[in-house]
Chain A
């Protein structure tokens, strides 16, 4: 499903009562099946943009749509992965219970005439977890919790996945594994992904396209295609001259922008 963003902006009212720009008007079209990263400094409005796409915030002006549906509430075909996964997983449910939550509240018809527990196990295997259906989220490491959150989102059979700095709270090695996992499920499920991060390397490694937002909600600063070969590889891709050149270019732009 194509995501169309047309002149969407967001203005917040500060505690003192004056208007603060969260995001200047942004126009953007994201093709079905694309992997797009949105990058920028803190306060550039990247999370605001993602939350507008998720229907978790209403724009101050303009509008966005997914497929033919105008986004006024969280769209049924979209799932959102939060940075603070531990607050998003249901702590009173086991890992299996969390996956069943995703299956129960899925996009389209819920699975029928299938063995739910084997389906749960399959969803967990897909994210590299098995034999932990009876564990509680708080018993798992951060990386494992985010894997459960991914499996729960996939269980809901989404067409679009929105991720808000999903790997920023996990350690570097787990992060690399999670990135590769995300690429795998993106391909396997033919998802459209919008990925917010402050990490340019991560954005380049994952994406078809990187959108850089100007500081202080300044709107789109740069929108570039990433023509690196797939499948990507943590060592090979990251040492390709094309990767390094783009990294240098984008990092320079982000650091010099004010």
Chain B
């Protein structure tokens, strides 16, 4: 999970104003720079530069220079090893994410809006939610082996709950006034859910999906290691076993970059879909 993921969660769905602690003392440029992520990216670049310099001055096998890692990375991309591994992990991630989204939204929304379904499902959901995924692994390997079905099941189990819980909260967030507006406009139950319940829950659903997206990638990588047969997790594990530290780093940095990009894309989609929230603190 990348850092922007964590912080976007902390301020979402209730948008907060950016802190303005520098506003009195600093000039325009400094204020913009230090309160933006350009500052953070500069720190990242400085740290990478320090890494490169240290690794060049004191060569050591456990910390290869970035330039060497990059060379290996290009090599592995060109010969297809890294791409095949990544594609496999992305396939597990995508299938798991889609299934978890469908299950999480439907169950979470119905639990939030239909008392009977809440009563029927809440104990099971709460019980299963408490079980650490790691505790289920031996059982699932026993049942499903180490095929894709095992990996996808694990990913779905891990990713469903953030979506389910956030969707539930969103479905519960519909105000009494809004529900009564639907009643006085003669909406049927289904119309009320489609025209009011779901749009009202959407910002929450998206936060849940974004949390789940981070979890999904992490779990997909781990399942590759556990099953030990494919994916970027297996790629990293193999690199470690043959002490190919450059390939090991190439794998790790690839996962970090992919996670960051996935999250960034999701944030753009999320912002588009909930553009109306931008005005929530609007003037009166």
Residues of A within 8 A of B (CB): 54-56, 73-74, 76, 78-80, 82, 84, 87-88, 90-93, 101-102, 105, 107, 136, 138-142, 156
CA distance A25 to B195 in the complex (A): 37
Q: Can you list 7 pairs linking A and B with CB atoms under 8 Å apart?
A: A56-B184, A80-B181, A80-B184, A82-B181, A101-B185, A139-B282, A142-B284
A82 touches B177 (CB 8 A): yes
- The reply on B41 being an interface residue by CB < 8 A is no
- The reply on B180 being an interface residue by CB < 8 A is yes
A90 touches B199 (CB 8 A): yes
Q: Return the contact of B280 from the options A84, A91, A101 (Cβ within 8 A).
A: A91
A101 touches B180 (CB 8 A): no
Shortest distance between the CB of B153 and any CB in chain A (Å): 35
Question: 7 smallest A-B Cβ distances: which pairs?
Answer: A138-B279, A87-B177, A138-B282, A105-B185, A80-B184, A74-B184, A92-B199
Q: Return the contact of A79 from the options B175, B184, B196, B199 (Cβ within 8 A).
A: B184
Question: Which residue of A is nearest B200, CB measured?
Answer: A92
**Which B residues, 191 to 237, have Cβ-Cβ distances below 8 Å to chain A?**
191, 195-196, 199-200, 202
CA distance A21 to B202 in the complex (A): 40
- The reply on B183 being an interface residue by CB < 8 A is yes
Residues of B within 8 A of A55 (CB): 183-184
Residues of A within 8 A of B187 (CB): 105
A84 touches B186 (CB 8 A): no
CA distance A74 to B181 in the complex (A): 10
A74 touches B183 (CB 8 A): yes
B196 touches A90 (CB 8 A): yes
Residues of B within 8 A of A74 (CB): 183-184, 186
Residues of B within 8 A of A87 (CB): 175, 177-178
Q: Return the contact of B184 from the options A54, A90, A139 (Cβ within 8 A).
A: A54
Residues of A within 8 A of B200 (CB): 92
Known: A91-B276, A136-B276. A76 touches B178 (CB 8 A): no
- The reply on B283 being an interface residue by CB < 8 A is yes
Question: Which residue of A is nearest B283, CB measured?
Answer: A141
A88 touches B177 (CB 8 A): yes
B186 touches A141 (CB 8 A): no
Residues of A within 8 A of B183 (CB): 55-56, 73-74
CA distance A90 to B195 in the complex (A): 9
Q: Return the contact of B202 from the options A92, A101, A141 (Cβ within 8 A).
A: A92
Known: A74-B183, A74-B184. A141 touches B284 (CB 8 A): yes
Most chain A beta-carbon contacts within 10 A, residue among B184, B187, B200, B282 = B184
Residues of B within 8 A of A82 (CB): 177, 180-181
Residues of B within 8 A of A90 (CB): 178, 195-196, 199
CA distance A136 to B282 in the complex (A): 10
CA distance A90 to B191 in the complex (A): 14
Question: Which residue of B is nearest A79, CB measured?
Answer: B184
CA distance A74 to B282 in the complex (A): 32
Residues of B within 8 A of A101 (CB): 185, 195
Residues of B within 8 A of A56 (CB): 180, 183-184
Q: Return the contact of B177 from the options A73, A79, A84 (Cβ within 8 A).
A: A84
Shortest distance between the CB of A30 and any CB in chain B (Å): 18
**Which B residues, 238 to 284, have Cβ-Cβ distances below 8 Å to chain A?**
274, 276-277, 279-284
A139 touches B279 (CB 8 A): yes
Question: Which residue of B is nearest A135, CB measured?
Answer: B279
Residues of A within 8 A of B202 (CB): 92
Residues of B within 8 A of A142 (CB): 284
